[in-house]
Structure 1
Amino acid sequence: MAHLKRLSCLEHAMTFDPLNILLLAVALVVFWRLKSVLGTRTGTEKPPIDPFQAKRQDVDKTSDPPGTVIRFPQNANPAPQQNEEREPAEPVWKGFAEPDSELAAALENLASADPAFTPRTFVEGAKMAYEMIIDSFAKGDKAALKNLLSRDVFEGFAGAIDDREAAGQRVESRFVGIDKAKIEQASLVGSRASITLRFVSELITATYSKSGDLVEGDPMHIREVTDVWTFERDVTSRDPNWKLVATQAPA
């Protein structure tokens, strides 16, 4: 009798309820969909994105102020290693002034007031500024000029641009290159540093009237141009850039 009862229970266990079969099928479908969407972990997954990380990086980034600014290169001589023999430093003015001259003394004063200053890096920055100013003036780009010129010089350049536009004239200019950029004078009065350079450059420039007639210059001819420009900077300022404060006709 006991054997018959166990057999009856076994037969009852093997009997599947249709509702149970349906629930099992639904569970399998849901599991399969979740697996296809979520995938499986392999141990090489990327960490979750931190939305605040990008904001922190944006805050840490430094950017130049709006407008066009020429960053004059700074002195980047590497510091000597420990136990490395130091060679005697050459005078800062060497190659740019004669010994015992006023210019040599002035360049030494500038280097003492601003340890980052060297004539070589200054001249390289001034050449970039010269080319940009010439190009911006030809294009009538006052926004670019404003950050490179002092107020008085900017007003003169802007007035010339306005007169040119009022006459309906346009300028086509192409900068060929700078043949020479020579420091002629330098001074330090208080914290105000001043350096005058003579530029000799080659340009192709032509001015056209409103009707398209050639007014001045030659679009097919390279012209040699000499400019004497003076740049100034406050050596106590955190801004490393120099501005054009004066232009004069070459002597």
Structure 2
Amino acid sequence: MMNQAFDPLNLLILAIAVVVILRLRSVLGKRTGNERPPVDPYATQRRAEKPQAPGNVINLPQRENATENSASQPPAEPVWTGYAEAGTSVAKGLEKIAAADGQFSTKTFVEGAKLAYEMVVTAFAQGDRQSLKNLLSREVYEGFARAIDEREKAGQILESRFVGIDKADVTAADLKGKRASITLRFIAEFISATLNKAGEVIDGDPKQVRQITDVWTFERDTASRDPNWKLAATDEPG
């Protein structure tokens, strides 16, 4: 075994290994713990993008800033502000809905209802049943679908162009169990006319703007994860 350790070939390999190690140390150097970190090519850009405090201004901790900002903000207005009078049944109903649904906003609801109104009347005129099904409750959808079926069987065409909504007033609001309901009175303008098979106008005027009043009730289950309201009833204005 000892003779094999001192074999000339083994000694030659050992000598070569020592020479290689010495060369590497001379080129790479030894780690002392004081080496400079590697260069970050994006460091200069990040420093330029980081906002600097002017002069001697000292940034306060975020918690203190948040406390100061929240203290300076005015208290939130009641959910019915701008849509109902204090103490009315509408105001109380909106308050109950907001208590059941912390994300409820009367303004957001009314804007969404106005958009839904335009989508529904447009889809009805076009006979778009799928769009109506997504926006209406089952009972209301069945009524709209029957009207479309009768119009198509008679060979009639409804030409309608939505002009705009003049007013959308909240006339009722309530919460029964988890079921929230809000009624709006829409005053809108349309250009509409119904044509027979021969293309003759049998109702309306394709050139005249008409004002129409609709009273629609929207409902939503406040316990549901679905945030969407659906049209649950349509009434003639009283």
Partner SS for 1:83: helix
Partner SS for 1:93: coil
Other-structure match for 2:86: 99
Cα distance in structure 2, aligned partners of 1:177 and 1:93: 24
Partner SS for 2:228: coil
Partner SS for 1:147: helix
Other-structure match for 2:191: 204
Output the TM-score relative to the length of structure 2: 0.71
How far is the alpha carbon of 1:83 from its aligned partner? 2.0
Partner SS for 1:121: helix
User: Which 5+ residue runs of structure 1 have no aligned equivalent?
Assistant: 1-79
Cα distance in structure 1, aligned partners of 2:76 and 2:200: 58
Output the TM-score relative to the length of structure 1: 0.67
Cα distance in structure 2, aligned partners of 1:110 and 1:86: 25
Letter in 2 for 1:206: A
Which of 195, 210, 214 lines up with 1:227 in the alignment? 214
Alignment RMSD (CA, Å):
1.0
How far is the alpha carbon of 1:81 from its aligned partner? 3.5
User: Which 5+ residue runs of structure 2 have no aligned equivalent?
Assistant: 1-64
- Corresponding position: 1:112 with 2:95: no
Which of 161, 172, 176 lines up with 2:159 in the alignment? 172
How far is the alpha carbon of 1:103 from its aligned partner? 1.0
Partner SS for 2:115: helix
How far is the alpha carbon of 1:92 from its aligned partner? 1.1
Structure 2 CA distance for partners of 1:81 and 1:216, relative to 1, 3 Å: farther
Q: Provide, for residues 20-68 of structure 1, a one-character-per-residue CA deviation record: whole Å limited to 9, x for no partner.
A: xxxxxxxxxxxxxxxxxxxxxxxxxxxxxxxxxxxxxxxxxxxxxxxxx
**Ranges of 4+ aligned residues in structure 1 off by more than 3 Å:** none
Which of 53, 65, 68 lines up with 1:83 in the alignment? 68
Cα distance in structure 2, aligned partners of 1:234 and 1:148: 15
Q: Provide, for residues 218-240 of structure 1, a one-character-per-residue CA deviation record: whole Å limited to 9, x for no partner.
A: 00100000000000000111111
Cα distance in structure 1, aligned partners of 2:67 and 2:129: 50
Which of 118, 122, 126 lines up with 2:109 in the alignment? 122
What number of residue pairs does the alignment pair up?
Answer: 172
Other-structure match for 1:187: 174
Other-structure match for 1:238: 225
How far is the alpha carbon of 1:98 from its aligned partner? 0.6
How far is the alpha carbon of 1:87 from its aligned partner? 1.1
Aligned-residue identity in percent: 59
Cα distance in structure 1, aligned partners of 2:84 and 2:66: 31
Other-structure match for 2:45: none
Partner SS for 1:233: strand
